[in-house]
Amino acid sequence: MKPRIGITSDMEQERLKLKKDYVNVVSNAGGLPFIIAPTKDAASIVDTIDGLLLTGGNDIPPDYYGETLSVPSDILKPIERARIDFEISLFKEMMKRQKPIFGICYGMQMVNVALGGTLYQDIGIQVKPVPVGSKQGGVLNHRQGQHEIKLIDSFLSTFNFQLSTFSVNSSHHQAVKKVGKGLEVFAQSDDGIIEGIYKGNYPFLVCVQWHPERDMKRGGISSALFKAFIEASKNK
């Protein structure tokens, strides 16, 4: 039987929205996609799914991670709180049941915040990292384009990856600053920005800053992570 994968949907005023790529990639990887809308009963939803895909979106308001707004207000595009609150509850219910979770972009940031971590409100304004092996120096353009990420050895061995460097798409202006409790960094870009976090002592809790659902034709780490997520969900 195919594992049932809950896919969170974004909100825009009176509408729910979700890009087809998320549904297609779950289906193509061997999962049965179910689109989830925010409700007050996260626990019942979790009981009906085998894995959870937390999709992308805009920005988490800084009060969620104990900060006040410290960048120009027009830079932030806040996600509706109803979505954030629901998905934090959904995430915590999944963790109680030790079910697989895959977070993408906003999904990664939400998981980090839910576990007590913080975010850079805007990379361009707040981040002045020392480049790690970067030929061009300074902060990369994370808002658009492609860049390389490097994986740490322990993650490579866990998922049996043979390569440690991959090229990924990039379309974000915020990033993980302080890593949430129990999470570990597994991928960074050359400028030191965290691109992937995971929980080692968990069936599957992996979050990435890029959009793997857009990269499936290229194979590599994006395809491998989705396959591993669906495989882990089969066991639930």
Kindly indicate the confidence band of residue 149, based on its pLDDT and cuts at 50, 70 and 90.
confident
Whether CATH 3.40.50.880 fits 4-234: yes
Residues 62-76, mean pLDDT to the nearest whole number: 94
Kindly indicate the confidence band of residue 134, based on its pLDDT and cuts at 50, 70 and 90.
very low
How high does pLDDT run on average in the chain? Answer: 88
Give the per-residue pLDDT at 138: 66
- At 120 the three-state DSSP class reads strand
Could you give phi then psi for residue 53, rounded to 5 degrees? -105, 115
Give the per-residue pLDDT at 184: 94
What single string gives the DSSP state of each residue in 30-84? T-EEEEE---S-HHHHHHH-SEEEE---SB--GGGGT----S-GGG--BPPHHHH
- Those residues with Cβ within 8 angstroms of residue 107's Cβ, 6 or more apart along the chain or in another chain: 8, 53, 54, 55, 56, 57, 87, 207
207 catalytic residue (yes or no): no
213 catalytic residue (yes or no): yes
Q: What residue ranges do the domains of the chain occupy? A: 4-234
Q: Which of 87, 93, 105, 195 is catalytic?
A: 105
Please state the pTM of the whole predicted model. 0.91
**Is residue 51 predicted with pLDDT exceeding 90?**
yes
What does the pLDDT look like over 166-223, one tens digit per residue?
877 777 889 999 999 999 999 998 888 999 999 988 999 999 999 988 876 666 788 8
Q: Which of 142, 147, 173, 211 is catalytic?
A: 211
> Which amino acid belongs to residue 34?
F
